[in-house]
Every structure is written in C-alpha cells, then in structure tokens.
Amino acid sequence: MLEFNSMSYELLDHTADLSIRVTGRSFGEFLRNASLAMTEQIADTDRVEPSVKEVIEETGETKEEILVRLLNEILYLHETGKLVFKDIRVEVSNENKAAAELWGEKYDFAKHELALEIKAVTYHGLKIEMVNDKFTADIVFDI
C-alpha cells in the first residue's frame, strides 16, 4: 500500500480500466485521498505549483454518489480548464454534502507529464465500507 501526505491508496489489477483501493480515517479524508489518488494517475503532481484555486461542492443521497460526483467534477475541471492539481482539501458538512478546495495550475506540456486519460469515474462494484475503522472502497475509472 502506498502512502503519501497521509494519503492511502493501492492500485489494483483490472483488465480494461483503472481500479484503486482508497482508505481514510474520516469520510472527508477518504474523499481527499480518492481525489489525490485520481489526480496522481492523471499527471505527475511533483511539478505542479499550487497557484490556482478551484472550489466545488457536491451533494448526494449516498456516500458513493458524493464520491463519484466529486471525482467526476475534478475530471471536468481538468478537461475543460486544462488544470492539473497538486493538493485538495475536503470538508464534509453533513452526510449529504462535501466541499473541496483544489490547488493546482494550468497544464503546461513543457512542464507537466500527463500519464493516464481518465474518461469517467464509474459505479462499477462501488461500495464504501468501514474496514478496521477506516472508510474503504475500490474505485473503478474508465480509461
């Protein structure tokens, strides 16, 4: 299992898509870890300067819905705004709402190395569970 900046995730074998197991001690930490795990698959974040701030809010009836909506919104910002992100802060105000501050910069092909083109976050087999006092889920991305 990889751990960066108190983030936990593990790449899983998947035939055609990308699958990542994410954990977090709180739901907010879990969402942050999932967001950072995804952005690290998109681009090498070591060379990203946190000079641009984006703020997003997502709601949902389930934790899974909040997760998928949040990650898909980050993908949308990456695609439409040509942004790469280095850090993300997430606050969960209640069970049905999460707000995130994303820090990054405009993509510069001379500076940033893109890795994977993630098309979407899927609900395939998605279930957020408590395992050893941590929120845990396997997230499948369409690439």
For the stretch 38-54, pLDDT in tens is 999 999 999 999 999 99
Determine the Cα–Cα distance for residues 98 and 88; give it in Å rounded to an integer: 12
Structural domains in the chain (count) = 1
Please check whether residue 126 is in contact with residue 137, taking contact to mean a CB–CB distance below 8 angstroms: yes
Which CATH number covers residue 50?
3.55.10.10
Q: Which domain holds residue 131?
A: 2-142
Q: pLDDT tens across 94-139, in order?
A: 889 999 999 999 999 999 999 999 999 999 999 999 999 999 999 9
Which residues make beta-bridge pairs with 105?
A: 84
| 16: CB partners within 8 A, 6+ apart | 143
Which residues make beta-bridge pairs with 3?
A: 8
Please check whether residue 38 is in contact with residue 141, taking contact to mean a CB–CB distance below 8 angstroms: yes
